[in-house]
Amino acid sequence: MLWIIHTTGKCNLKCSYCGGSIPEELMPWKPRYSARELKKLIDSDPDPTIIFYGGEPLLNPDFIMEVMDSIEARFGVQTNGTLPHLLPEYYWKRMDTVLLSIDGVEWLTDKYRGKGVYRRVLSTAKWLSEFCNCRRIARMTVTRDTCIYRDVIHLLELGPFTHVHWQLNVVWSSKWPFLEWAKNRYLRGIANLVQYMAGKLVDGEIPGIIPFLGVLTAEKTGGWGHIPCGAGLRSFSIATDGRILACPIAIGEKWATLGNIWSGIEKVIRIDYVSPNCLSCDYFKWCGGRCLYSLYEKYWGDEGQKEICWVTKRTIDHILKLVPLIDRLSKKGVISWDEILYDPLMDSTEVIP
Ligand code: SF4
Ligand code: SF4
C-alpha cells in the first residue's frame, strides 16, 4: 500500500497554485504522533511505500529520518526541490523516488512558483543524479501557459529527470476557458508527444512519460478498477494530527477521514459509492475515475466535470494509438511490455493528468 506522510503543513514557497503553508489548525506544523506509533500502523502492511509530503516535507527532516530509521519500506518524497541540504545524503541515497515540482521551461516555472525556483530545482535534480539511484520525477502543474509538448520534452531532455508527470490545473483553480485551450493547444501537444514517444520506442528507448506509461499499463493489465492514485482504497495519507485521509489534498473534508493512526483504517472508499457513472463509462478501464477529490467536490460543477472527462477521453484515445506499435516492437524484441508497465502506487502519481 501507499502511505503518504505529511511531515508538516509549513512551506517555504508561495506558489500560485496553493498559496504556501497550510493553516496550522488544519495541518499542524509538527506531527502529533511518534514514528513508533506510525510503525505500529504500517507494520500490518506487507509491502509498504512511504512518501513524505507537506507543506514542504523537508522542513521537518528530523521526522523523515526518524521514520526511515524505524520502518522497513520503499521511500520517496514529494518536494519543491529548494531545500535538499536539510536532509543528509545518507537518507537521500535510500530514497527510491523523488518527485520535484517544476512546470517546464524557466519563465513558466518561475511565473507560478517564484523567481529563481527553476534553477534551484534543476540544481537539486542534478545534484541527486550524481549519487542517488532514485527515480527523479519532474512533477508539473499544467496551466493555460503550458505548451505540453515543449515543456515535457524540455524536462525530459534536461538530463537529470528520469520521468515527467503532470496534473492539469483544473477544479482547484477558479474556472478558466479550459475546454477551448485543450482543443486548441493541449490535445495537439499530446498528439505530438505520442509521435515523439513512437519515434523513441522504434529506437528501443522508453521515455518516462508517466501518463502514457500509466494508460498503456491499464490497457495491458485490464485497468485500475479504482482511481489510479489509489485514494481511499490502496493509498492513505496521514495528517500531522494523526488522522488517516483518503487523499493528501482533502485535509478539511469530512468524507476523506477514514480513521486515525491509533485506531487504524476504519473504512475505505470504493469508486461505486462516489461515482456510479464512472463504472458505466467506456473509459473507466484506463481512467479509473481520474480523481476522487474532484468527483466528491466538483468545484467546476457537472458541466466542468464533463469538460474534464472529455479531455481525459481524447487524451486516452491519443495514447492508445501506441498500442499496435508496442505490440509489433515487442514481437520483434525491440522493447517489451514489461518495460512499459508502471505502478503509480510506487511513486504517488495520479496517471491521468
Ligand atoms: S472519463 Fe469521466 S466518467 Fe469516465 S471514468 Fe473518467 S472520470 Fe469517470
Ligand atoms: S488524484 Fe485526486 S484523489 Fe488522487 S491524490 Fe490527487 S487529488 Fe487526491
> For the segment 54-106, what is each residue's pLDDT rounded down to a tens digit?
999 999 999 999 999 999 999 999 999 999 999 999 999 999 999 999 999 99
Q: By CB neighbour count within 10 A (0-12 exposed, 13-18 middle, 19+ buried), where does 304 fall?
A: middle
pLDDT of residue 273: 86
**pTM for this entry:** 0.96
Q: How far is the CA of 353 from the centre of ligand 1 (A)?
A: 12
> For the segment 233-266, what is each residue's pLDDT rounded down to a tens digit?
999 999 999 999 999 999 999 999 999 999 999 9
Angle, nearest 10°, between helix axes 35-42 and 61-70? 40
Alpha helices in the chain (DSSP H): 35-42, 61-70, 89-93, 106-113, 117-131, 148-158, 178-181, 187-202, 210-221, 271-274, 276-279, 284-287, 292-297, 301-320, 323-332, 337-340
pLDDT of residue 171: 86
Across the range 9-23, mean pLDDT stands at 91
Residue 272 has pLDDT above 90, yes or no: no
Please provide the average confidence, as pLDDT, over all residues in the chain: 96
Tell me the three cell numbers of residue 277. Answer: 457513472
Residue 305, φ and ψ in degrees, nearest 5: -65, -40
Q: By CB neighbour count within 10 A (0-12 exposed, 13-18 middle, 19+ buried), where does 272 fall?
A: exposed
Residue 185 has pLDDT above 90, yes or no: yes
- DSSP-derived secondary structure for 336-347: -HHHH---GGGT
* Cβ(311) – ligand 1 distance below 6 Å: no
> What is the rounded end-to-end Cα distance, in angstroms, of the chain?
22
CA of 353, nearest ligand number: 2
Q: Closest Cα partner for 21 from 91, 80, 99?
A: 80
pLDDT of residue 117: 97
Residue 172 has pLDDT above 90, yes or no: no
Across the range 221-234, mean pLDDT stands at 97
Q: How far is the CA of 294 from the centre of ligand 2 (A)?
A: 8
Residue 159 has pLDDT above 90, yes or no: yes
* Cβ(293) – ligand 2 distance below 6 Å: yes
* Cβ(4) – ligand 2 distance below 6 Å: no
Residue 19 has pLDDT above 90, yes or no: no
Across the range 323-352, mean pLDDT stands at 98
Confidence class for position 18, pLDDT limits 50, 70, 90: confident
pLDDT of residue 174: 87
Reported as type and span, the H/E element at residue 5 is: strand 2-6
Candidate of 142, 238, 244, 292 to mutate for ligand 2, largest count of ligand atoms within 8 Å of Cβ? 292
Q: Closest Cα partner for 81 from 37, 54, 117?
A: 117
* Cβ(296) – ligand 1 distance below 6 Å: no
pLDDT of residue 17: 85
* Cβ(249) – ligand 2 distance below 6 Å: yes
Which ligand 2 atom sits nearest the alpha carbon of residue 348? 5
CA of 308, nearest ligand number: 1
* Cβ(169) – ligand 1 distance below 6 Å: no
Q: Tell me how far CA of residue 125 lies from CA of 84, 89, 158, 162, in angstroms.
A: 9, 13, 10, 10
